[in-house]
Amino acid sequence: MSLLEPFRDLPVKTFETTWRSPANIAFVKYWGKKGHQIPANPSLSLTLKECVTQTKTTFTPSENLEVELFLGGDRKDAFGVKIKNYLHSLEAELPFIKNLHVKIDTSNTFPHGAGIASSASGLSAFALCFTDYLHAQSGQTDESLFFKRASFLSRLASGSACRSVYGGFVTWGESELADSTDEYAHPFEVHPELKYLRDSVLVISAEEKNVSSRAGHDRMKEHAFAQARFVQAKQNFTDTVVALKMGDMDRVGEILENEALSLHAMMMTSPESFTLLRPNTLAAIEMVRTFRRETNLPLYFTLDAGPNLHLIYPEVFRSKIQTFIQHELTPFVVRVIDDERGEGPVKC
Ligand code: PMV
């Protein structure tokens, strides 16, 4: 039975709810799809704490589906159209959607223009509000099903958003793990020594990227290395799962960097090539490698679809590593966002 089946004949009523949902950083990347929002390989991420979106959504009855969206108090019609198209795509399963007026007031706690992808936090925050509407109208109270549905609905809006619905480490996509599925994400327990990882986000450039991740996923379709990349990602997923369970930070870090550079290699070698790395990204990578060689401390980097470096390390090394970041890396960055493992979304 579809996860949405119980809500097919829901009446339309007024309802307001607010959720705060975090961004996540992928250790094993989702890059390439094999169907409608179905990933070509399993992925694994760490949910963050400080980089979050807070969204208040008001649902009211209406003649037609209408969406109004305000970001930080300013009306943003382009984002409103995206949410409208997304809701429209769910109408076949949830026909009542065509009689909803949806007003969304959203804001990000991380500074605007920080170059942090806000689609995972933003779209999961909205999906949580919508799931809350579904459950409240139908009287459902099962919490585990609530988050499963919220993850499912987030995935249909933006793949990586489905992982933001849970705290800590999260997996998504069919793999050797029990209950794994392409439909929604699952939380993943790791060795106690790797539970509290930090993520110092080095903002190298806050400029808006010129190729969307949707377009990037599309370019994997005709990519000469696509099949090899999916095989590599599956192996990296399996190896990261084992290393996280064993508490082997160096192995986790080795794969983390391999994943980041493979993602950007795919971008640079795709049929229509594009490069999101900046000279200062490469300079900072070299500094991190040198620091690791000289100190033997487990400091590793990863990248999202952008030029900004996420520096990942266990909490116990925080003081030494943050001194290094302040003293050595400041010339390459416009800002550092000091983040860490977060425990997932909250209803406000
Ligand atoms: O969720 P999307 O469609 O924005 O794609 C996200 C892609 C990456 O952030 C680069 C990787 C990932 O797994 O989060």
Q: How many domains does the chain have?
A: 2
Considering the domain architecture, whether residues 179 and 213 belong to the same structural domain is answered as: no
Q: Identify the domain boundary among 155, 171, 189.
A: 189
Q: Read out DSSP for 21-70? A: EEEEEEEE----EEETTEESS-EEEEEEEEEEEEEEEEEEE-SS-EEEEE
How many percent of the chain have pLDDT more than 90? 94
Candidate of 160, 172, 217, 303 to mutate for ligand 1, largest count of ligand atoms within 8 Å of Cβ: 160
Q: Is the CB of 26 under 6 A from ligand 1?
A: yes
Considering the domain architecture, whether residues 218 and 252 belong to the same structural domain is answered as: yes
Query: Residue 115: which pLDDT band, with cuts at 50, 70 and 90?
Result: low
- Per-residue CA distances from 90 to 104, 263, 273 (Å): 18, 31, 33
Considering the domain architecture, whether residues 122 and 245 belong to the same structural domain is answered as: no
Q: Is residue 346 part of a domain?
A: no
**Range 205-231 average pLDDT:** 92
- Per-residue CA distances from 87 to 91, 178, 198, 250, 270 (Å): 7, 31, 35, 43, 31
Q: Is residue 347 part of a domain?
A: no
pLDDT value, residue 113: 65
**Domain containing residue 47:** 5-189
| CATH assignment of the domain containing 103 | 3.30.230.10
Considering the domain architecture, whether residues 98 and 47 belong to the same structural domain is answered as: yes
What would you report as the CA-atom Rg of the chain, rounded to the nearest whole angstrom? Answer: 20
Considering the domain architecture, whether residues 319 and 286 belong to the same structural domain is answered as: yes
pLDDT value, residue 175: 98
Query: Residue 137: which pLDDT band, with cuts at 50, 70 and 90?
Result: very high
Q: Is residue 75 part of a domain?
A: yes
**Range 12-40 average pLDDT:** 97
- Per-residue CA distances from 296 to 111, 210, 283, 313, 320 (Å): 33, 37, 20, 12, 12
Say how many Å lie between the CA of residue 160 and the centre of ligand 1.
5
Structure tokens that stand for 126 in this block:
């909205």
Q: Is residue 348 part of a domain?
A: no
Candidate of 151, 175, 182, 213 to mutate for ligand 1, largest count of ligand atoms within 8 Å of Cβ: 213
Q: Is the pTM of this model over 0.75?
A: yes
Taking only the tens place, the pLDDT of each residue in 138-188 is 999 999 999 999 999 999 999 999 999 999 999 999 999 999 999 999 999
pLDDT value, residue 210: 79
Taking only the tens place, the pLDDT of each residue in 60-109 is 999 999 999 999 999 999 999 999 999 999 999 999 999 999 999 999 99
Element (H, E) at 122: helix 119-138
Considering the domain architecture, whether residues 115 and 61 belong to the same structural domain is answered as: yes
Q: Is residue 345 part of a domain?
A: no
Considering the domain architecture, whether residues 27 and 79 belong to the same structural domain is answered as: yes
